[in-house]
């Protein structure tokens, strides 16, 4: 267990430092937002391009991983929606809000640092397929459901074409993001085996080293700036489903689909076991549920210290090869 704590404690200590820095006004919220933008715009795209451009994407288990992670995330969304809709009696819009939080991980800010501590080398294919699932499938699906049920709740008829136009706009915005551009460019460099100029490669190597620490610090800082105005029992439901149900759905998909390399299996479970994505309260706040999702996010991050420790202990128990 001590070797597991040696992985999780440094991660949560950095998060705690970010939290204290904002709470004590050593760093203001604008600076934390700037750190988040730095990670999403520069450090993480550099990391993705650096990993993909030197990888052989034609080999390995990339497609299987994509099917596993996408299938598991969709299953978690559907089960979560059914749970809060039919067991807890939430309306369709609120059910979509909660299901979105149960099926989308904070892979960029949280998942990559945890994997980098656990594995000697983060599987480039697996991490990339996770980002593709989250950005091109789960995020547009969640936004579409929120918009659709919001309009339905208000009694407005926008029609199928209007909804499809909105979904297209969401898709284009995601495709134009720095992360997706890095995935596309990295894939092209890998496929055509183009050499990356040394000065560019060295620059990206410096940038990517900063991504984990800055991302974790930014998570802590964002928590320090949050105000949870109300406590709703479903906050705990969403947090626990994200931390437990989502990785269990990934494990189920692994049983149904062809086997992957060991490190890819570990990466899929670990990434699914992370708290929900950091802009969850911002996105859902546009539909009147920002206070609820802020509380659910805080609960998930606090509980994740225990759940991630448990998942890593189980992984080390059943995959002893990682102990080295």
In tens, the pLDDT along 282-316 reads: 788 878 888 888 888 889 989 999 999 999 999 88
Whether residue 133 has pLDDT greater than 70 = yes
Top-confidence residue, 170 or 71: 71
3 state SS of 190? helix
Percent of the chain with pLDDT over 70: 90
Residues facing residue 105 across a β-bridge: 276
57 Cβ partners below 8 Å, 6+ apart? 125, 187, 190, 191
Q: Give the model confidence (pLDDT) of 150-196 as tens digits.
A: 877 766 555 556 666 766 776 777 677 787 888 888 888 887 888 98
pLDDT at residue 102, rounded to an integer: 96
Q: So what's the pLDDT on residue 91?
A: 92
Whether the per-residue pLDDT at 136 is higher than 70: the answer is: yes
Residue 17 CB partners (closer than 8 Å, separation 6+): 217, 220
CA distances from 273 to 34, 103, 293 (A): 26, 10, 18
pLDDT of residue 307: 94
Residue pair 264/125 in contact (Cβ under 8 Å)? The answer is yes
236-245 pLDDT, tens digit per residue, is 999 999 999 9
Q: Is the pLDDT of residue 71 over 90?
A: yes
pTM for this one? 0.82
Does the pLDDT value for residue 74 go beyond 80? yes
Q: Mean pLDDT over all residues of the chain? A: 85
């Amino acid at each position: 267990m001590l070797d597991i704590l040696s992985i999780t404690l440094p991660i949560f200590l950095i998060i705690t430092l970010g939290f204290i820095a904002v709470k004590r006004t050593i760093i203001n919220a604008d600076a934390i937002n700037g750190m988040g933008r730095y990670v999403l715009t520069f450090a993480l795209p550099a990391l993705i391009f650096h990993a993909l451009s030197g990888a052989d994407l034609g080999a390995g288990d990339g497609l299987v991983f994509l099917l596993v992670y996408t299938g598991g995330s969709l299953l978690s969304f559907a089960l979560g929606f059914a749970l809060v809709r039919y067991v807890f009696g939430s309306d369709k819009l609120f059910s979509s809000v909660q299901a979105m939080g149960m099926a989308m991980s904070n892979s960029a800010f949280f998942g990559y640092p945890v994997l980098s501590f656990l594995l000697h080398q983060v599987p480039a294919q697996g991490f990339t397929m996770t980002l593709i699932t989250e950005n091109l499938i789960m995020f547009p699906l969640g936004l579409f459901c929120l918009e659709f049920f919001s309009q339905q709740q208000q009694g407005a008829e926008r029609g199928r074409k209007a909804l499809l136009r909105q979904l297209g706009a969401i898709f284009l915005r995601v495709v134009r993001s720095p992360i997706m551009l890095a995935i596309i460019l990295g894939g092209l460099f890998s496929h055509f085996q183009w050499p990356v100029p040394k000065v560019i490669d060295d620059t990206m190597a410096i940038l990517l080293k900063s991504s984990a620490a800055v991302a974790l610090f930014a998570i802590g800082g964002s928590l320090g700036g949050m105000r949870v105005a109300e406590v709703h029992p479903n906050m705990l439901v969403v947090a626990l489903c994200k931390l437990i149900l989502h990785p269990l759905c990934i494990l189920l998909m692994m049983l149904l689909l062809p086997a992957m390399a060991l490190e890819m299996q570990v990466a899929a479970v670990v990434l699914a076991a992370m708290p929900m994505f950091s802009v969850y309260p911002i996105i859902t706040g546009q539909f009147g549920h920002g206070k609820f999702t802020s509380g659910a996010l805080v609960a998930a991050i606090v509980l994740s210290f225990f759940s991630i420790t448990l998942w890593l202990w189980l992984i080390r128990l059943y995959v002893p090869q990682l102990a080295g």
